[in-house]
């Protein structure tokens, strides 16, 4: 007779492994994850089945954290113009709060673990269109969600490649300023 499933232990292990991966990237071996979770590689396999299943779970959990965090940043706020919201979101996404996510998912796109989540690039694009359209609706610009997302993604790639936060931040601020200047008359910016 096998042991009963222990979802609370599995969740604790997943949280610890995800924390590690966000801080250090996905490791090639299970031992760093096991040490971070205070367990053994054998117990990780027991709870997740395979190394790849564990890494997929870590990627999915990190992605959900990113969606929750960045989604909240992109949500329109009463009394705050959406261009202000976008500028604040950019600062958080490129600051200490967002860097672990950007580091992990940039690693995902360029590394051998890409096979773990074949549809990631599509999901990483389409996941943001609805929250952006919802926020942009507050300034009459919901039709610009694809453009705003493309600018954000392009500037994030630029920032990752060059490390030039000042230049990319200014470019985003200039872009958002232009977006505000072209919005529907009578709408709050």
Q: With bands split at pLDDT 50, 70 and 90, how would you rate the model's confidence at 28?
A: confident
pTM of the predicted model over 0.75: yes
Greatest mean pLDDT among 2-11, 81-90, 153-162: 81-90
Q: With bands split at pLDDT 50, 70 and 90, how would you rate the model's confidence at 16?
A: very high
Q: What is the DSSP track for 60-120?
A: HHHHHHHHHHHHHHHS--TTS-HHHHHHHHHHHHHSTTTHHHHHHHHHHHHSGGGGG-TTH
**pLDDT value of position 176:** 95
- Which is more confident, 134 or 102? 134
**pLDDT value of position 188:** 42
- Which is more confident, 189 or 18? 18
- Once rounded to an integer, what is the mean pLDDT over residues 146-170? 94
**pLDDT value of position 129:** 94
**pLDDT value of position 105:** 80
The Cα–Cα gap between 101 and 6 comes to 28
Q: Which CATH superfamily is domain 7-181 in?
A: Tetracycline Repressor, domain 2 (1.10.357.10)
- Once rounded to an integer, what is the mean pLDDT over residues 20-27? 92
Q: Is the pLDDT of residue 88 over 50?
A: yes
**pLDDT value of position 185:** 40
For 89, residues 6+ apart whose C-beta sits below 8 A from its C-beta are: 70, 73, 74
Domains of the chain by residue range: 7-181
């Amino acid at each position: 007779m096998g042991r009963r499933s222990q979802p609370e232990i599995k969740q604790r292990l997943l949280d610890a492994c995800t924390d590690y991966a966000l801080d250090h990237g996905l490791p090639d071996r299970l031992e760093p994850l096991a040490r971070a979770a205070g367990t053994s590689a054998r117990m990780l396999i027991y709870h997740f089945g395979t190394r790849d299943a564990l890494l997929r779970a870590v990627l999915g959990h990190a992605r959900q954290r990113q969606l929750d965090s960045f989604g909240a940043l992109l949500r329109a706020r009463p009394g705050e113009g959406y261009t202000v919201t976008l500028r604040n979101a950019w600062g958080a996404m490129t600051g200490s709060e967002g860097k672990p996510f950007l580091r992990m998912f940039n690693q995902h796109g360029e590394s051998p673990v890409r096979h773990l989540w074949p549809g990631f690039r599509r999901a990483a694009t389409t996941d943001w269109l609805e929250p952006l359209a919802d926020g942009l609706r507050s300034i009459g610009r919901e039709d610009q969600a694809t453009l705003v997302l493309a600018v954000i993604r392009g500037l994030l790639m630029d920032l990752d490649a060059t490390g030039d936060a000042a230049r990319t931040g200014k470019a985003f601020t200039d872009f958002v300023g232009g977006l505000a200047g072209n919005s529907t008359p009578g709408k709050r910016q």
